Amino acid sequence: MQASTHRYQQVKLFLIKGIGNGTWKSGDQLPSENQLADSCQVSRMTARKALQELAKQGVLVTIKGKGSFVTQEKQQFSMLQINSIAAEVKQQGLSYHCELLALEKQKAGEDLAHKMNIKQQQDIFYSELLHFKQDKPIQLEQR
C-alpha cells in the first residue's frame, strides 16, 4: 500500500478483500479489534475506526459484546426496479443533492430510433444530472 494511505483504510481494504474473496461470507463473524490490530500491525483504535466505517457503509454490523458480522449480500436489482439514489444516500443519513446539467429536445437518429423502437427523427429528450453525496459528486446520469 502507498504510504499516503491511512492505516485504517488499509484495514478496511483487508476486510473488504476478505469479504470479496469469500474468506468471510454473509453472517460470518469478523476478527475482533485486537485480532485485526495484530494481523494488520495497527493499533486497536485504528482497527476500530475501520470497523466503524464499514458498519456505517453497511458492509458489516457490530453487535455490542458479540463482535462484527458481515451483512447480508444486497440483492442484484433487475432492470425493472429503479432505485432512487437520493433515497439510498438519505437512508445512510448523509446529505444529497442533484444538479441538472443538461435538458434538451433532440431528434432520434437511426441507431437510437431502432433501440427505442420509435421512428427516426421523432422528438426525444436528453438530460444529464449530477448526483452528490456530502457535496461530492458520486454519479453522472445521462438519459
pLDDT at 71: 87
Q: Is the model's pTM score more than 0.85?
A: no
**49, 10 contact by CB (below 8 A):** no
Placement of cell 486497536 in the chain: 44
pLDDT in tens, 80-113: 555 688 888 887 888 888 988 888 888 988 988 8
**Model pLDDT for residues 130-139, shown as the tens digit of each residue:** 889 898 888 8
Grid cell digits, residue 18: 476478505
Give the residue from 18, 107, 35, 115 showing the smallest Cα distance to 70: 18
Structural domains present in the chain = 7-70 (1.10.10.10), 85-142 (no CATH)
Which helix (H) or strand (E) is 111 found in, with range?
Answer: helix 110-116
